Structure 1
Amino acid sequence: MKRTSLISALLVAATTVPLGGAADAHHHARPSSYRLAGDADSPVGSKFEGIGADERRGLFYVSEVTGGEVHRGEVGAAQTREWLAGDGTDGRYTARGITVDAAGNVYVAGGPNGIGTGRPDLWVYSKEGHLLAALRAPGTDVFLNDVAIGPDGAAYFTNSNDAQVVRVARGRAGWRATLWADASATITRQTGFNLGGIVLTADRRAFVVAQGNVGRLWRFDARTGAVTPVATGGADLVDADGLVRHGGRLSVVRNFSKMIATLRLSSDGRRATLLSQRATSPDRVLTTAKTLRGRVLYVDSKFDEAAATGPYQVVTDPTR
């Protein structure tokens, strides 16, 4: 073998890793939990709720209820950082559900931020953190809880005060929030949080939405907005909050019940069969979760603490 060929072969051998080698090393290097920066000046500490995942860039975003800050983390780094300031920034004093679209735009639900204040109910930011829109939702008693991207690329926000879903998209006249579905004739408003977690079905023709206060799941047709109950066989889903779909399986994060229910969900979202109920850590109230690079990230809300104390975390093992 010529000297140049030998050198080339050695270089290839030195830089080539067997299948799974580099990927496995990277996987094992990822932290088992992620630290969120708390607000040292807050008399009630910091409490968190929503999480959005940018699969393409390996980023996730976490919303802070106390102040409305939005934190951003990277899949391979244990420490997150504050990405968007709160305490009135862009009219945002609290933040709830959060999601990311294919372009990297970040949608933030404001919960009660606009009730009786005239402030925005939701915000849209570019992946660089520039404000694209700060909008009021239709109605006067709107508590936007969670948000998912639909098959049309628009964002769909659930209302916890009424059986409504708000659609947000950019048109020729700019960004606009419209009442997309009003299911108040079918879903009875109950005391507590009504519509919350929302996910798209496997066939992308409907949304499955949780009604946590009564433990029910509802199917909203993605084309017409028509609503029907998801047949769950009477599964206990009280305190259903965040929803995560993995193919044909649906995980339901049951916050104060401190359980995660796993169901087999039909591709059209009409039927769900309970497979298991798993207890989460007794020391945490997990609110919601998202899948990112093959793992599920759960938000530890600190909702069970009158004055929250650290460590503030996003965890990958909900039982610890």
Structure 2
Amino acid sequence: MTRSFARRRVLRTAAALGGAALLGPLAGPARAAEHAGRPWPETFPLPNGFRPEGITIGAGPYAYIGSIATGSVYRADLATGRGRVVSQGLGAAHPVIGLKIDRRERLLFLCGGVSREIRIADARRGTLLRTFGVGSEGTMVNDVVLTPGAAYFTDSFKPNLYRLPLGPRDEPGEAITTVPLGGDWVQGAALTANGISRTPDGRALLMVNQAVGGGSLMRVDTRTGVARRMDLGGTPLPNADGLLLLGRLLHVVQNRLNTIAVLKLNESGTSGRVIARITDPDFKVPTTAAVWRDRIYLPNARFDVAQPTPDTTYDVVAVDRVGR
């Protein structure tokens, strides 16, 4: 049975709801993170007009959020909610969509969206270290996952995967390889590929495909680019965006549905079932997710705002993990 969870901040509880629809609350205890005896904030603001999309969290309790509007990266202290821009962007023509920080928290791998750029920045100083151009006209570099040997980047408008080799200290190589996607992959007329993750066994990648079956997941062979549709028991995943894998639980952010679908996968990532759904009254079209201990953090992209302005407000929301 699929469970749904809606956090109610006033009661500081997690409400467990029976069935796939939100039928009725059953209160349960929430796990509040503590800092010097005070709960960590459940939401915290980003700069007005920031237009966030991607988020990454390293070994320390700090989140890095990328800006569509300016290409800047904002670093927030999860214990206090306070932060600042640590990497100044190059403007609207050079956005940051997805991003990841390396294991040593030295490098930020930035997806440049329609600029067709993959950028590497110093996580501490914010300085831009490397820029790679990929794809062709119409390319949109959307999201990234880091593996022990390479960083892989999705292209929302082209059936390609981009591979950047990484050294033993996650230092980037000199050239990016384009891996064409085949097999069950179908490229739609609109945005197709989105979030990306490793399989639980680490032998392949999982990618969102928004064009197949009303929203699906593909298991991709990184060597050949052959994609096979994951068996989800007939459950579609519309509006699927960012992916977050925790053990064998894959969290799929469904942005305009204001929901995280939690899937239990087999080790190889060939099949999975939705076992829970997480929602929150503070969700305003969240796009991606990152974890710190018992909490998952999501930036509200507010894609429902037709014409964002420099005064449009944005924030990050924390929700409790379900299951371990």
* Same-fold call, TM cutoff 0.5: yes
Which of 137, 150, 153 aligns to 2:147? It is 150
| 2:44 aligned partner | 34
What is the DSSP-based 3-state SS (H/G/I as helix, E as strand, rest coil) of the residue aligned with 1:175? Answer: coil
TM-score, length of structure 2 as denominator length? 0.78
Which residue identity does 2:230 align to in structure 1? Answer: V
2:101 matches 1:111? no
The aligned amino acid for 2:58 is D
Paired residues, number: 279
The alignment status of 1:58 with 2:61, answered yes or no, reads yes
Unaligned regions of 5+ residues in structure 2, if any?
Answer: 1-32
Structure 1 segments, 4+ long, off by >6 Å, are none
Deviations 1:2-29 (CA, angstroms, capped at 9, x unpaired): xxxxxxxxxxxxxxxxxxxxx8555853
CA-CA distance at 1:235 after TM superposition? 1.1
Q: Deviations over 1:203-232 (max 9, x none)?
A: 111111111343110001245443211111
Question: Which residue matches 2:87?
Answer: 84
Q: Name stretches of at least 5 consecutive residues in structure 1 with no aligned partner.
A: 1-22, 39-44, 115-120
Q: 1:174 to 1:24 in 2, by over 3 A?
A: closer
Partner residue, 1:190: 188
Identity of aligned residues (%): 28
Distance 1:245 1:27, change over 3 A: farther
More helix by share: 1
1:140 to 114, 133, 137: 137
| Letter in structure 1 aligned against 2:47 | A
TM-score (normalizing by structure 1): 0.79
Q: Which residue of 2 aligns with 1:18?
A: none
Residue 228 of structure 2 aligns to which amino acid in structure 1?
Answer: T
Q: In structure 2, do the counterparts of structure 1 residues 184 and 140 end up closer, same or farther at CA, with 3 Å as the change threshold?
A: farther
Equivalent residue for 2:16? none
| Paired AA for residue 100 in structure 1 | I
Secondary structure, counterpart of 2:57 in structure 1: strand
1:155 Cα deviation after fit: 1.1
1:100 aligns with 2:104: no
Judge conservation of contact 2:287–2:300 (CA < 8 Å) in 1. Answer: yes
Change (3 A) 1:306 1:138: closer
Aligned residue type for 1:73: A
Asked if the contact 1:240/1:254 (under 8 Å) is kept, the reply is yes
> Could you say if the C-alpha distance between residues 108 and 27 of structure 1 is closer, same or farther in structure 2, counting changes exceeding 3 Å?
farther
Q: Is the 8 A contact 1:99 1:147 kept in 2?
A: yes
Q: 1:151 touches 1:205 (CA, 8 Å); kept in 2?
A: no
Separation of aligned partners in 1, 2:314 and 2:245: 25
RMSD of equivalent CA atoms: 2.5
TM superposition shift of 1:167: 1.0
Give how far 1:61 is off. 0.9
**Pair 175,31 (structure 1): closer, same or farther in 2 beyond 3 Å:** farther
Q: Deviations over 1:98-124 (max 9, x none)?
A: 00111321001011123xxxxxx1100
Which of 169, 185, 206 lines up with 1:208 in the alignment? 206
- 2:164 aligned with 1:162: no
Q: How does 1:6-25 map to 2 (within 5 A)?
A: none
CA offset at residue 317 of structure 1? Answer: 3.1
Amino acid at match of 2:68: V
